[in-house]
């Protein structure tokens, strides 16, 4: 077959990229055209995403693609979940989208549960209760009497808002909707009772589309400005984790995945939602995947911990490269101190290093002596947290979990992957590192008839990327560390 050229627009919580994919039928090649920060901005005490800056970077990437001189067959967009843009009756965006790390939702779930009880919310949605879920963002914005929400004609999740800016067509993509705690996962439709309790209306949401459907074509204005012409924009798995999971190079279903980046998301892929007393007690989410699958998963704070420390160290004149971090962590004393990465104090502290030291003091541990010891504390704590969540996942999985696939940026972190294999006691297969972009491309390929089904998509992924395998080591030492970690985190 002749080569096809697709564009993946892939925005994570700290950086975004525009990637050109080339498919020849057997392999996919990825070329990064541009990379840019997706920083939150603070205005008047609130946190926002500068969606216009993001859109400008995306258009720059599309112009870079046009300069390649190849015909582009399709474009897809994936981003982080839950956040929304508000659109007025005139079609204009009403201000900047609020960022999920804004603490304005603190306490909102408990307030909301006075209207709809916690258990009923979970039974209706199957979604992990987290402050920043869209349901509570909308309730908090309504409580603040947010002018943009009050005037909104339509509500768009971030990938849908960007697709709207490119095409002029508004849709609500299924996988991104599934992160919101506004959707019935069994019927794959909006839950009218929860919308009403949050103070919004079903008609404020555009029609739902599923991965592989065409959103529209680049508008005449954007087609001319980028030089690409009227390229179709395809609804991929708009939630970045859903795209990443589509790219897991697995040959059967008996795997767990860890999408590792700023956030870590660990889960399995099942055919039907798992909404039970046990999944409620363990606070697991049921989110939409490709081809009708459900991703049973849990959100875990990931490399956010290290990223925040690195930024503070850099500001103080200690700018460590990643190889330096690996060397320093490897040389530091093992099993000296641990934290619960999901403790609320680490969500958005003004000083992450100080927050970690305070946690260690308050739990009767010795504070990390220096930067290397603090790095070691973060790495080991993440590996032990992964063990904790995987143990819970085993209790919900309808099949044995024989392998843990680590995908996303964390697939390149050999040290953490080695620790994770040892902590969890299962082999870790690391790769692809660009899983979200690859999954984005695979859904486009499926829509264009270049892959037959999800199994074929994963075959194509396996043939296109190299992976690394890590076997468990020092099982007794890691078991002892986990026992101590459990005691410490339960008392915090």
Cα gap 386→374, rounded to integer Å: 18
Annotated active-site residue 184? The verdict is no
> What's the burial of 261, exposed, middle or buried (CB within 10 Å: 0-12/13-18/19+)?
buried
Phi, psi of 39 (to 5 degrees): -75, 145
Residue whose token pair is 């998509």? 457
Q: Which residue has the tokens 């979990």?
A: 401
Strand partners, 260: 264
Marked catalytic residue, from 240, 277, 391, 414: 240
Q: Is the dihedral of CA 99, 64, 18, 237 positive or negative?
A: positive
Distance from C-alpha of 142 to C-alpha of 204, rounded to nearest angstrom: 14
What is the helix (H) or strand (E) element at residue 139, kind and residue range? helix 134-143
* Assigned token pair, 368: 């990390």
**Cβ contact 310:352 at 8 Å:** no
Strands 15-23 and 4-11: antiparallel
Q: Which of 466, 7, 455 is nearest to 251 (CA)?
A: 455
Contacts 24+ apart (CB under 8 A), 177-180: 177/205, 177/208, 177/288, 178/127, 178/239, 178/242, 178/286, 178/287, 178/288, 179/81, 179/82, 179/127, 179/133, 179/134, 179/239, 179/285, 179/287, 180/81, 180/82, 180/127, 180/133, 180/134, 180/135
CA distance 21 to 27: 10
Task: Give the CA count within 13 Å in the CB-facing half-sphere of 400.
Answer: 2
Cis peptide before 432 (omega within 30 of 0): yes
d(CA 281, CA 130): 14
Active site residues: 240
């Amino acid at each position: 077959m002749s080569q096809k050229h697709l564009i993946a627009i892939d925005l994570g919580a700290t950086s975004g990229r525009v990637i050109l994919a080339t498919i020849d039928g057997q392999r996919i090649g990825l070329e990064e055209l541009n990379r840019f920060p997706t920083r939150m901005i603070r205005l008047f005490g609130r946190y926002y995403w500068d969606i216009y800056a993001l859109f400008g970077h995306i258009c720059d990437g599309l112009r870079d693609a046009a300069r390649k001189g190849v015909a582009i067959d399709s474009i897809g967009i994936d981003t982080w979940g839950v956040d929304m843009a508000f659109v007025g009756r005139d079609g204009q965006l009403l201000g900047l989208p609020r960022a999920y790390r804004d603490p304005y939702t603190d306490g909102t779930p408990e307030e909301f549960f006075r209207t709809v009880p916690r258990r009923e919310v979970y039974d209706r949605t199957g979604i992990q209760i987290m402050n920043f879920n869209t349901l509570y963002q909308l309730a908090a914005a309504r409580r603040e009497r947010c002018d943009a929400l009050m005037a909104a004609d339509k509500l768009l999740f971030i990938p849908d808002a960007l697709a709207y800016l490119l095409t002029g067509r508004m849709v609500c993509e299924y996988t991104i909707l599934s992160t919101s705690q506004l959707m019935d996962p069994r019927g794959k439709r909006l839950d009218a009772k929860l919308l009403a309790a949050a103070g919004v209306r079903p008609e404020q949401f555009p029609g739902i589309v599923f991965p592989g459907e065409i959103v529209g074509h680049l508008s005449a204005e954007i087609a001319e400005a980028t030089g690409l012409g009227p390229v179709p924009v395809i609804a991929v798995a708009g939630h970045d984790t859903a795209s990443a999971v589509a790219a897991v190079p697995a040959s059967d279903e008996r795997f767990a995945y860890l999408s590792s980046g700023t956030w870590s998301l660990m889960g399995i892929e099942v055919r039907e939602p798992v909404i039970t007393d046990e999944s409620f007690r363990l606070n697991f989410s049921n989110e939409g995947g490709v081809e009708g699958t459900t991703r049973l998963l849990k959100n875990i704070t990931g490399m956010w911990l290290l990223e925040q420390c690195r930024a503070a160290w850099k500001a103080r004149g200690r700018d460590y490269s990643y190889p330096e971090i690996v060397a320093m962590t490897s040389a530091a004393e093992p099993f000296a101190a641990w934290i619960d990465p999901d403790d609320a104090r680490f969500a958005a502290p003004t000083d992450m290093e100080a927050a970690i030291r305070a946690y260690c003091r308050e739990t009767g541990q010795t504070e990390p002596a220096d930067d290397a010891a603090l790095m070691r504390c973060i790495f080991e704590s993440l590996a032990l947290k992964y063990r904790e969540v995987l143990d819970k996942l085993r209790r919900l999985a309808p099949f044995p979990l024989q392998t843990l696939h680590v995908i996303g940026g964390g697939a390149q972190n050999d040290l953490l992957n080695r620790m994770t294999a040892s902590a969890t006691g299962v082999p870790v297969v690391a790769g692809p590192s660009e899983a979200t972009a690859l999954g984005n491309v695979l859904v486009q390929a499926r829509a264009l008839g270049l892959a037959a089904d999800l199994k074929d998509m994963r075959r194509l992924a396996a043939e296109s990327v190299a992976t690394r395998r890590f076997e468990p080591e020092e099982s007794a030492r890691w078991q002892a560390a986990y026992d101590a970690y459990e005691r410490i985190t339960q008392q915090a």
